[in-house]
Amino acid sequence: MTEHANDKAGTSAPVTAGGAPAARATILGRIRTALADVPASEQPDDVEVPRDYARSHAGSDHVALFAERVADYRATVTRARAREARKVIAGSLSARGVKSLVVPDGFPADLLPDENGLAVLTDEPPLSVRTLDAAGGVLTTCAVGIAVTGTIVLDAGPGQGRRALTLLPDYHLCIVRSSQIAEDVPEALERLEPTRPLTFISGPSATSDIELDRVEGVHGPRTLDVVIIEEP
């Protein structure tokens, strides 16, 4: 029956000052009544969860699997050695005809193309949504890759920037280092810091809403290129 947790709500949002604490007590009370059959001595962890599922479904070469699975979503994947990465990135940008490129803070300078005619937009001070919407593309690193599902995870860390940067431009070029690629979902989650803003990206934006058939390209970037930098 404590109203403690709503003290904060009471000061910041007048709407909760009246009804919410009552609702909280009501709901928690109803739950306890509904669970009368659960022994009082039982702790949440006492309910056994069988964990005999596989920690990974990747085979021996999970980097190759990652490349294959990302490409299955109709993203373009290129594998490059560290010393040729910059050239590959520049090649992708010019092949896509990108003239203005958003580059988040912390993106490695040695990977950034210095081509003439490429305008680099930095997010300092923060770019407006209109500017982002009009930008030709965005170039980022990532936090983690997942081989089995062909997924890239961004956590707003260095070289990735805030979430809007990879959302509004219609083209996203993402750099993944081979050491960042986890074999499968369980390993990827272990590598992530849950409290950072996380975005899991599996291919370009898509929908299955018309006759349950997949079509690429709705609100997120319609083109996704991935460059995997092979590390020894």
What is the rounded distance in angstroms from the CA atom of residue 88 to the CA atom of residue 190? 31
Stretch that binds another protein, among 77-85, 86-94, 105-113, 201-209 (CB under 8 A): 201-209
Angle, alpha carbons 30-32-33 (nearest 5°): 65
**Residue number with CB closer to another protein (38 or 95):** 38
Within 130-159, the residues that bind another protein by CB under 8 A are 130, 133, 146, 148-151, 156
Helix (H) or strand (E) holding 46: none
**CB of 77: closest distance to another protein in angstroms?**
15
Helix (H) or strand (E) holding 189: helix 185-191
Stretch that binds another protein, among 52-60, 76-84, 100-108, 110-118 (CB under 8 A): 52-60
What is the rounded distance in angstroms from the CA atom of residue 225 to the CA atom of residue 139? 10
- What is the sign of the dihedral through the CA atoms of 128, 162, 76 and 218? negative
**Residue number with CB closer to another protein (59 or 108):** 59
Stretch that binds another protein, among 2-10, 84-92, 108-116, 137-145 (CB under 8 A): 2-10
Binding string, residues 67-86; x marks residues near another protein by CB under 8 A? --x--xx-------------
Within 90-129, the residues that bind another protein by CB under 8 A are 126, 129
Stretch that binds another protein, among 78-86, 109-117, 137-145, 187-195 (CB under 8 A): 187-195
Distance of alpha carbon 75 from the chain centroid: 15
Distance of alpha carbon 111 from the chain centroid: 21
